[in-house]
Amino acid sequence: MRQKILVTRKISDLAEEKLKKEFDVQLNPTDTPIKDDDLSKLANNFDGIVSTGWDNLGINFFEKIERKLKIISQVGVGYDNISILSAQKKKIKITNTPDVLNESVAEITILLILAASRRATEGFNLVRSYKWKNLPPDMTKTMIGNSVTGKTLGIIGMGRIGRIAAKRAKAFGMKIIYNNRNKLSKDLEDGAKYYSDINTMLPECDFLSIHTPATAETKYILNASTISLLPKHAVVINTSRGSTIDDDALIDALENKKIYAAGLDVFNNEPNLDKRYLKLDNCFVLPHIGSATHETRLAMSMMAVDNIYCYFNKKPLISEVV
């Protein structure tokens, strides 16, 4: 008898076809979000779930789960939408899709660095509003931004994505410094300078990019106190998780020119981000699209499906969380 698998959102066609060859599958071809209560009821009819970060798989979800569900395969490297402790209590395996999105997230990091430093939000709005023609011909003030060449990029979290972002930034002539839980080996550092204390590193940063997971340790790692250590010309970049930044502190810093700019792809409470960000000319924002390339989303979908396949065929999981 074939196991039953629920796919909560639309994933890549090739991944869906592969899944259907091995299992009885309920897909979501219209990509309509499943309400929390409906999802917990549905889940009890399935042996496995292919989930996404949009699904709320918290404590309430697991309290309603009976014994049938055995694995949740998340499409995404993050899994802060899942109550890991609850999953462990229910003996439900959790997997994710790390590494395959490293390059695409690093690319978005570079995009944010360039866009924030070169005032892309202001430039875009000038063209779209037809106000470009009204700008005075001022060679020293009109849309003058900051160059990235020769500047120092500080990275918080020098994992795979952080290291790829560093490599890309070096191509622009940027100098790399970093803070990490542990100092990297010389080959992984690739010339970057290590700071064991984040407070010591921050004053040296022309740009600061966050690449950490969402944990209790990293929550609001950038707050009023740490932001105050940055130079006034600093640019803050975040492609990790919204919870790493205290919105009130960053917005205050941007509004009052305590720092130069920010480039953000992730937010607290997304998609319901703090609307004050949208009023700031010195904040370039994107709708959490770090992994949004055809190649990456296919790879993520296939890895999630492969984790399901491995579990039910008694093979080692590719990327087990718990």
Q: Which of 22, 122, 189, 270 is catalytic?
A: 270
Nearest of 12, 83, 25, 3 to residue 304 by alpha carbon: 12
Of residues 241, 276, 294, 295, which has the active-site annotation? 241
SS3 content of the chain, % helix, strand, coil (to 5): 35, 15, 45
Q: Indicate the SS3 state at residue 264.
A: strand
Query: Is 189 assigned a catalytic role?
Result: no
| Start-end of H helices in the chain | 13-22, 36-43, 59-63, 84-89, 102-117, 120-128, 160-170, 186-189, 198-201, 224-227, 247-255, 294-312
Q: How far apart are CA 36 and CA 56, in angstroms?
A: 6
* Residue 170, burial from CB neighbour count under 10 angstroms (0-12, 13-18, 19+): middle
Residue (of 18, 64, 16) closest to 40 by Cα position: 64
Please say if 288 is a catalytic residue: yes
222, 243, 258 from 180: Cα distances, Å:
15, 18, 25
Query: Distances from the Cα of 124 to the Cαs of 138, 207, 275, 281, 308, in angstroms?
Result: 19, 22, 19, 10, 44
Determine the Cα angle at 222 with ends 278 and 229, to 5°: 110
Helix (H, G, I), strand (E, B) or coil at 26: strand
Please name which of 146, 125, 119, 166 lies closest in space to residue 282, comparing C-alpha atoms: 119
Cβ-proximal residues to 276 (8 Å cutoff; 6+ apart), any chain: 247, 251, 255
270 is catalytic: yes
Contact 212, 244 (CB under 8 A): yes
Report CA 180 to chain centroid distance, whole Å: 18
Please list the active-site residues: 241, 270, 288
